[in-house]
């Protein structure tokens, strides 16, 4: 069963916030080419949530949705919200292999599962096909729920420390050279620790691939890349999302002009931005909105936001994402 039959992707609050933040981050890419000249590649599922926001807000019209649930082809075609979205059915590795990459793309591979070899294969295809022009972005979302020690013992049918068994598990998924040599010994049951391990594996793969590609290029045409975000959120399972921008060495100034580094959500390293959705009622949200934005160094007026209703944690988390906070309405039409 496709995960879209289990989860309504359009109403997951943390995912909705993440999608809106990423849209804002992508809006800086017009330093490379106008946004409406990008191609967007993603997994639309039957909700096409990312396609809707990127078409409406970024005005991208060249869009390809990859869908491997070929048994329900009619359902995906029926739910396609725009004529500019081309549906390509098949495994992502096959579809990505068949595409022609003539212009910069934004590709968000929003997997609903954990790291697998096929993820590395998809990444490999995209890196091999980076268009000549700078400005392409590859984003990957993965389930980063940690592998528990006892589960690894059972699966691998052997004893060992958590770190040792995790390394064995990862070596069944990716080549050893991509696995961090200094896997942590502690905290391996934490999603942020596991997310960082997966981020390092993918980053190592990118470094390795670009080194090979760049070996045949003159200095000004060599590929550079920057990680531009590093998110962790949980609507159900813990999910990690990372994005990397690729540009030619000669276009370093375009990256600097883009302003990407000035986004409060920019992360070029292991620094994770955790999207936390406070559990608030509509009335509580409306009251809190009236106090936004919080002024730096100014105390919160607790007479208007009583501690019996608003925790410090909820106020802080809300203040970081209130511009992106989703509004879901339960309504009946007709």
Radius of gyration of the chain (CA): 21
Among residues of the chain, what percentage have pLDDT more than 70? 94
Decide if pLDDT at 304 tops 70.
yes
Rounded Cα distance between 152 and 159, Å, is: 9
Q: Maximum distance among all alpha carbons in the chain?
A: 65
Specify whether the backbone of 234 is left (phi greater than 0), alpha (psi in -120 to 50) or beta: beta
CB 196 within 8 A of CB 221: no
What tokens were used for 79? 């739910």
Average pLDDT of every residue of the chain? 93
Decide if pLDDT at 2 tops 60.
no
What tokens were used for 61? 């019209």
Mean pLDDT of 2-17: 67
Rounded Cα distance between 239 and 273, Å, is: 12
Q: Could you read off the pLDDT of 98-141 as tens digits, one per residue?
A: 999 999 999 999 999 999 999 999 999 999 999 999 999 999 99
Rounded Cα distance between 125 and 190, Å, is: 31
Q: Could you read off the pLDDT of 247-274 as tens digits, one per residue?
A: 999 999 999 999 999 999 999 999 999 9
Burial of 215 (0-12, 13-18, 19+ CB in 10 A): exposed
Q: Which helix (H) or strand (E) holds 277?
A: none
What tokens were used for 15? 């995912």
Decide if pLDDT at 225 tops 80.
yes
pLDDT band for position 334 (50/70/90)?
Answer: very low
What tokens were used for 136? 């392409």
pLDDT band for position 79 (50/70/90)?
Answer: very high
């Amino acid at each position: 069963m496709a995960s879209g039959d289990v989860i309504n992707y359009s109403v997951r609050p943390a995912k909705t916030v993440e999608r809106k933040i990423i849209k804002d981050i992508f809006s800086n890419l017009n330093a490379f080419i106008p946004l409406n000249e990008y191609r967007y590649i993603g997994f639309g599922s039957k909700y096409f949530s990312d396609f809707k926001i990127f078409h409406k807000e970024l005005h991208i019209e060249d869009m390809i949705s990859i869908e491997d649930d070929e048994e329900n082809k009619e359902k995906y075609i029926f739910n396609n919200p725009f004529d500019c979205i081309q549906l390509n059915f098949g495994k992502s590795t096959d579809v990505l292999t068949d595409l022609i990459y003539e212009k910069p793309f934004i590709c968000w591979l929003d997997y609903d599962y954990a790291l697998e070899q096929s993820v590395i294969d998809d990444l490999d295809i995209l890196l091999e096909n980076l268009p000549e022009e700078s400005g392409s972005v590859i984003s990957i979302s993965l389930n980063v729920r940690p592998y528990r020690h006892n589960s690894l013992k059972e699966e691998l049918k052997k004893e060992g420390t958590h770190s040792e068994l995790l390394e064995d598990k990862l070596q069944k998924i990716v080549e050893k050279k991509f696995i961090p040599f200094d896997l942590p010994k502690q905290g391996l049951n934490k999603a942020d620790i596991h997310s960082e391990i997966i981020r390092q594996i993918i980053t190592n793969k990118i470094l390795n691939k670009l080194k090979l590609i760049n070996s045949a290029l003159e200095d000004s045409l060599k590929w550079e890349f920057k990680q531009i975000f590093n998110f962790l959120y949980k609507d159900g399972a813990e999910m990690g999302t990372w994005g990397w921008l690729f540009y030619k060495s000669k276009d370093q100034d375009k990256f600097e002009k883009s302003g990407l580094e000035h986004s409060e959500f920019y992360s070029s390293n292991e620094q994770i931005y955790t999207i936390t959705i406070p559990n608030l009622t509509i009335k509580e949200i409306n009251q809190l909105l009236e106090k936004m934005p919080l002024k730096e160094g100014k105390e919160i007026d607790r007479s208007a936001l009583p501690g019996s209703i608003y925790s410090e944690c909820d106020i802080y988390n809300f203040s970081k994402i209130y511009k992106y906070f989703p509004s879901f309405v339960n309504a009946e039409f007709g």
